[in-house]
Amino acid sequence: MNEKKIIQKVLWVILIMLLIGCGTPAATPTPIPSTATSVPPPPFEITYEVTFDGNDCTVSGPAEVPKGYIYIAIDNKSNQYAGPWVDHFIDGKTYQDFLNDIHIAPDESHRKPDWVEYPSYISKGNGIFEFNLDETGEHAIFVGDYKPWREYPCGPFQVIEAPSE
């Protein structure tokens, strides 16, 4: 074979390869939204917002809630752990009774009175906690830790019967 025919065959092969490779346009990539800086909204409504600064705990939310689930969001501005819990006061006792008769200081341990019950709860992550309140009556939100003992009262609220639909 002469050189001219070899060059022609090579050029035809290159041309065919280019046509095959370029025949289908490349798909445009779809950008994936970043989740590193954005957190999707929760599938529930926050009931109480608690702020803890290391000395004091404040709570904002309704004075009354119906029986069922509540969601507490914690804004911990301190450098210590501040997990939430809810006390349910029974036998006619109140949040004020607890503060007057039981609670001494945030870092002083005390006995659990027979007239306090703890509703069940789970962490939803990102500082949000779900509590199942299945009893009516006075309840209160606290934050703190068990090791070492610290308990900061945030405030009371009432649980009422759910309105009939």
Domain count, the chain: 1
User: Does any domain span residue 101?
Assistant: yes
> Domain holding 147: CATH number?
2.60.40
With a pLDDT cut of 70, the percent of the chain lying above it is 73
Check: CB of residue 58 under 8 Å from CB of residue 154: yes
Q: How far is CA 26 from CA 15, 17, 29, 32, 114, in A?
A: 19, 16, 9, 18, 71
User: Does any domain span residue 152?
Assistant: yes
Query: Distance between CA 135 and CA 102 in Å, rounded?
Result: 22
Chain CA centroid to CA 65, Å: 19
Residue the block writes with tokens 């949000």: 128
Query: Distance between CA 128 and CA 73 in Å, rounded?
Result: 4
Q: Which of 28-37, 105-114, 149-158 is the least confident region?
A: 28-37
Say yes or no to pLDDT of 35 above 50: no
User: Does any domain span residue 154?
Assistant: yes
User: Does any domain span residue 42?
Assistant: no
User: Does any domain span residue 117?
Assistant: yes
- Containing structural domain, residue 150: 48-160
pTM of this prediction exceeds 0.85: no
Query: Distance between CA 55 and CA 57 in Å, rounded?
Result: 7
Query: Distance between CA 155 and CA 45 in Å, rounded?
Result: 20
Parallel/antiparallel/unpaired status of strands 57-60 and 64-66: unpaired
User: Does any domain span residue 12?
Assistant: no
User: Does any domain span residue 140?
Assistant: yes
- Would you state the structure tokens that stand for residue 136, as one six-digit string? 């009516």
User: Does any domain span residue 118?
Assistant: yes
Say yes or no to pLDDT of 24 above 60: no
